[in-house]
Structure 1
């Protein structure tokens, strides 16, 4: 791999992190006009539509492995339904939580999924590395300083984001299991479509969705659908063909930092000294979990 290819991959990883980080800002702005379920439903529908041409094109090639036996056509209906349901849970908790917390705090708490993935893998027979445990402790301490009030209670929005982080971690584990068994782009498109349908059903049952609200939230929806879902996913796939794993881990983790910077610049959010210290601990925990040397068997997994 040439130096130019590696540098380009690093730039694409950092761009992806920037797009995802600023998406937290767009999500907060959009909910000034539209409910959380309606916003998610439309943006994930847009994301699925963006990926549809690429997903259909990838159907020309054989799947990595039959998912349902030799007669499997390779389109991930069942996997997409499962992944879409978990994605819906994580995205819904994140979006509702943003009604009661800042974009910066939501970004950092959601980013805990990086630490939770290896810890949840323990229940699947995957022994966590020492760095995973150290990272989890650092992240938990950071969460305390960021989100726990002086009366030792967790702010409601932060609590929803924390529960959502467990679903994001579960989603990563599920995708990790599905990816070797089906095509990546059709799987992504299907899960986005499933998440969109579930969100829209909830929106029409529990929210008031108006055309004026959709028009008012048009720019955040376009950003969330075209850029955060469609473009960033494609950039990540392209970047990680050439990116060194350690570089990708560090650069993609900057999503949380960009969320905090975006919230401060665009929404006038302030974390304060205690919150900034908590963010620093959480970010350190994420990096330690990703970069700590792992045993040979864990690296292969």
Structure 2
């Protein structure tokens, strides 16, 4: 059991590294194409990769045959896909106006927003969540608020996206208990790709040479960020401890900052790094604080994305 848990933790650490670095691909992809087209193409690519692998993944995940697609599964996956499309495109557009580092840390606030939204559904929220939320708010102030108490438009979009990611996690918590998570993932990917491509057709100029130029970023975002990241997560969380999963996957923000500094030359002022540290501390405190009862967060927020998302993919995921 210990070896399985260690293997799961290492796989989730690799997943967090992939997801964090995918923020760079998301940013670079928009040097050539618009945000909606980038989102649509990378989720369409992930869908094309996963569809032929679905029978194999289902055989590994289930000892008995799964039920065929039905109206309720399509409805659940569709609602998840709508939330995914909103979250990923808010994140994608926000990257036009803020740094990869800011995007990674602000997106990670969904870890705290989930249980706060859970209050509306009657869930109890412990002291650790409130302390973590307070640290995260202070950290975001130091990271994002500039002279004259101005906040970059991209940071507001990332914060709105974090709220949508939290809603997505709640939807996953409802539907993943009722339906096969692999098939839910495929339906939500298809929904997200369709919505994003429709938005691209309406609002963006689509040219083949621009798509080819963005090819490496689309390939990395679709193949690694979504398809491989999702598969690693499914394999890892079969033997993962829920609290471990939430903590390790929240390190995505740290890897996003490292990738942004290394590949894009991004740098923050000292107060910005201190703000990132406070936000990460708040996210970890919300997970590690002793709980008398199991909260919705530890059940569903691990890896929620994302694309993402715990027993189905997070998206940048």
Class of the TM-score when normalised by the shorter of the 2 chains: over 0.9
> 1:194-250, CA deviations, whole angstroms, 9 ceiling, x for partnerless residues?
111111111011101111111111111011111111111111111112223333222
Distance in 2, Cα, partners of 1:137 & 1:288: 11
Give the RMSD, CA atoms, in angstroms.
Answer: 1.8
Alignment gaps of 5+ in structure 2: 300-317
> 1:61-119, CA deviations, whole angstroms, 9 ceiling, x for partnerless residues?
235xxxxxxx9847721111111111111011000000010111100000000010000
Shift of 1:53: 2.5
Distance in 2, Cα, partners of 1:224 & 1:155: 25
1:98 aligns with 2:102: no
> 1:171-207, CA deviations, whole angstroms, 9 ceiling, x for partnerless residues?
0110111001111111001101111111111101110
> 1:128-150, CA deviations, whole angstroms, 9 ceiling, x for partnerless residues?
11111111111010000000112
Change (3 A) 1:208 1:122: same
Change (3 A) 1:275 1:297: closer
Q: Specify the SS of the correspondent of 2:150.
A: coil
Distance in 2, Cα, partners of 1:271 & 1:97: 18
1:212 to 190, 209, 213: 209
Distance in 2, Cα, partners of 1:75 & 1:228: 28
1:62 to 58, 63, 66: 66
Alignment gaps of 5+ in structure 1: 64-70
> How many residue pairs align between the two structures?
293
Contact 2:115 2:295 in 1 (8 A): no
Shift of 1:13: 0.7
Q: TM-score, normalised by structure 1?
A: 0.93
Contact 1:74 1:182 in 2 (8 A): no
Q: TM-score, normalised by structure 2?
A: 0.88
Higher relative contact order (CA 8 A, sep 6+): 1
Q: What is the match of residue 15 of structure 1? A: 14
2:253 to 230, 236, 256: 256
